[in-house]
Structure 1
Amino acid sequence: MTTDLRRARNAVVVAFAVNGLAFASFISRTPAIADGLGLTTAQLALMLLCLSAGSVAGLPLAGPLVARLGPGRSVLVAALTETVGLALLALGLLTASVLPAAIGLAVTGLGTGVWDVAMNVAGAEVEQRRGRTLMPRLHAAFSIGTVVGAGIGAATAATGVPLAAQVLGVVVLIPLVMTVAVRGFLPSVPAPTRAEGGTGVLAAWREPRTLLIGVLVLGFAFTEGSANDWIAYALVEGYGASETVGAIAFGVFVSAMTVGRTFGGSALERYGRVAVLRAAAGLALVGLLLVLVGGSVPVALAGALLWGLGASLGFPVGMSAAADDPAKAAARVSVVSSVGYTAFLAGPPLIGLLAQDAGILTALFVVLGALVVGLLATGAARPTAGAAPVEPARR
């Protein structure tokens, strides 16, 4: 591997990790958002819907933006946008005002959505250049970032640090780190070159296999996103646990995600994408049921572990499958990321609205349907006949 390629890999790893940290640093403390703004469960769901709406609005912009600016500049623009959004969220928390907090979450979602698509495109390009499985480990970096963010959330909750102060710390961190990191990204391919090769985003939206991979990612992303947004709240409201225990449950989930993504490469190389994804869906199902009907905090924490392991590989394997053809990788990864990210953020607010009347544990049964959808679409991840060979992820 050349020096430039190694530098690009490290830069993309940083982008994934910081993205995860920024997200988990405030989402692990959803009870504090509700308490600080005086929100009911349904009102908290609507606040999270602002986050989702911002992300969904950013997804159609991400593909053209990446084509025009390249993944590196797009990531930086998105990171700075998210910084502005988090600053507005902190302002809302400091003043106990819903409006700036809601606007802040929407702007944060806008930045997060573009950031997610751009860094996945960058990761796919590095993976293809290296000729080795990389995407699960990039998403492991995201999970490591969420573990750190969840740890920060648990520590600040336990020590009584206001969420606003915690968020302001992240506001300072993001631009400092990302301004340096994006300099290491691979040079982008000019948009006209991609268009001439028939690799445009609009064309990718009409490809059956790409859309089926999107459905696969949608199911697993819904499963992951529901836990990200609601597992802490489920422990607090469903089991009467403290906010600290809720943050620990979130930490267990994202830690399991990290383990699955770090060591999943060898399983993928040995058993293939389809078999591994189907086994993962089974693990997630068992874990989800332990959280929902386990009856005690220790059982629910064990369920969070299995839930995280099971949900860990769906998104990164979907990205790799979308990038099987290097000539069309960027457009297809953009499409699959857009489909998956819509479920990742738009689904959990629906759960919150259902939880207002049915309770959070009952509402989370909706995730079972998403798992079935993802399971049925796993066949689309099978490598195409013309896919470039990839060496094992571990030596």
Structure 2
Amino acid sequence: MSVGQSMDPKITRNILFLLFALPGVAFASWVSRTPTIRDILNVSTAEMGVIIFGLAAGSLLGLLSTGHIISRIGGRSVILGSAFLIVVGFVIVGLGTAFSFTSLVFVGLVVFGSGYGAAEVALNVEGSAVENQLNKTLLPAFHGSFSMGTLVGAIIGSGAVGLHLPVVLHFGVIAIMIAAVTLYFYRFLPHDTGKEKEASTQKLGANMKAQLAVWKERRILFIGIIVLGMAFAEGSANDWLPLTMVDGYGVDSLTGSYMYGLFVTAMTIGRFTGGFLLDKYGRVPVLKGSAVLAAIGIILVIWGQHYLVAGMGVLLWGLGASLGFPVGLSAAGDNPRGAAARVGAVATIGYIAFLVGPPGLGFLGEHVGLLRALIVVLIGVSVAGLISGAAKPIRMKTEKSKFLR
């Protein structure tokens, strides 16, 4: 019996904490160097937006295709392949920057984004499987590990900027680190997580049809709406919170950055403590409570009248928004049969909210102001709270005649 097949799920859990952090390190490393890359390429902000679209397009490609691939070859192989794409994409972006070749940077971001999107689905499928094996809520903490990875990547990126390291050198070191860690640890993961026996024998068209069928499942669509509302709340804060505080409350840029730091801190705390609350009180009550916290927080930000009151709102907003995405993915993976397709579908909805929602909020804010535009975010989390019952766990009989909580 090979290492992957005989591995203790607790060891798999520990490895996943590390592997979840790697995409966070990569993503934050890219974000930290975007001002430098823009200046080197000598492009406008609008042109930089077009370049960054390559990352969004690649991410959607990875998200939409990965469920089908996992069902045929298993999550472990996809995790290795996604790391390869991230590494190659990072190197291409670094080289494109070094030679001031805009098209090469765009291509690199498409490749990087494809690996990033594929990793998000494959890691969540593995994480959901470990949850079921250990009968313990883990995905929020796994996503907390991703948040810690972004913090590490941001710190490394800030250091690279301070030392004036060339982007190609910075990204090259990150790529080597991701490759080395993944190559060493992926072999300890189970072989066939998410693999469907029927998928390996089905023709491609029939398998794709089966993968798309999950989008017709009422429960998955409602879970998707929950994730949509919560991910929109998270993505909107990531993109607009500092500017919202500056424009809405007249604070300086440093204070706006502190407010965003408060939000990220609240998100991280919520994700690392969420597992305890979920195991004690259950998904539905925690999701409802999270939606209420997020809604109160957003209300305080919109109508708080003073930046300190808004700061309290930012804290509640971050705590409330922290669990919606990981809990939705956990709920999508309740049934091991077809888990890859369902987790992939819900993850796609969540990342569409990240990618499409915030720009739309900016367009609305241009006309009514960013504070008033947040009313749309408030509506989203309110709807998520109202339909949170859709995430109620499915009672599945296991091989040991026990039931999932």
When residues 80 and 46 of structure 1 are mapped into structure 2, their CA distance, relative to the original with a 3 A threshold, is same
Q: What's the CA shift for 1:192?
A: 2.1
1:104 corresponds to which residue?
A: 108
> How far apart, in 2, do the equivalents of 1:207 and 1:10 lie?
33
What TM-score comes out, normalization by structure 1 length? 0.82
Q: Report the TM-score, using the length of structure 2 for normalisation.
A: 0.81
In structure 1, runs of 5+ residues without a counterpart are none
1:83 to 84, 87, 90: 87
SS of equivalent residue, structure 2 residue 337? helix
Q: Does the CA contact (< 8 Å) of 1:41 and 1:352 recur in 2?
A: no
Structure 1 position 116 matched with structure 2 position 120 = yes
Q: Is the 8 A contact 2:231 2:354 kept in 1?
A: yes
The equivalent residue for 2:230 is 220
Within 2, Cα distance between the matches of 1:336 and 1:111? Answer: 18
After superposition, the C-alpha distances for 1:94-127 in whole angstroms (9 at most, x for unaligned) are 4555433333322222111111011111111111
* Residue type at the aligned position of 2:151: V
Aligned-pair CA distance for 1:202: 3.0
Give the distance between the partners of 1:246 and 1:127, measured in 2 at CA: 37
Q: CA deviation at 1:303?
A: 4.5
| RMSD of aligned alpha carbons | 3.5
Which structure is larger by alpha-carbon Rg, 1 or 2?
A: 2
Q: Hey, what does 1:257 align to over in structure 2?
A: 267
1:10 aligned to which of 4, 14, 21: 14
- Structure 2 residue 76 is matched with structure 1 residue 66: no
Match of 1:344 in 2: 354
Is the CA contact 1:79–1:174 (under 8 Å) kept in the aligned structure 2? yes
2:196 corresponds to 1:191: yes
Q: Tell me the distance in 2 between the aligned counterparts of 1:95 and 1:232.
A: 33
CA distance in 2, matches of 1:281, 1:294: 19
1:133 is paired with a residue of what secondary structure? coil
Question: How far has the Cα of 1:89 moved from its partner?
Answer: 3.0
Mean Cα deviation higher: 354-363 or 64-73:
354-363
- Which runs of 5 or more structure 2 residues have no equivalent in the other structure? 1-5
2:310 corresponds to 1:305: no
Which digits, 9 at most, give the CA deviation of each residue in 1:52-109, with x for residues without a partner? 2211122221012112221111011112212222233334444555433333322222
**Of 375, 380, 385, which aligns to 2:385?**
375
Aligned length: 388
Q: Secondary structure at the match of 2:292?
A: helix
Q: 1:284 aligns with which of 251, 275, 294?
A: 294
300-309 vs 183-192, which moves further:
300-309
SS at match of 1:327: coil
Letter in structure 2 aligned against 1:10: N
Report the alpha carbon displacement of residue 264 of structure 1 after superposing the two structures with TM.
1.1
- Counterpart CA distance in 1 for 2:163 and 2:186 is 35
CA contact (8 A) 1:154 1:247 kept: no
- Counterpart AA for 2:127: G
- Output the amino acid matched with 1:73: S
Q: Check conservation: 1:24, 1:150, Cα contact below 8 A.
A: yes
Q: 1:101 to 1:137 in 2, by over 3 A?
A: same
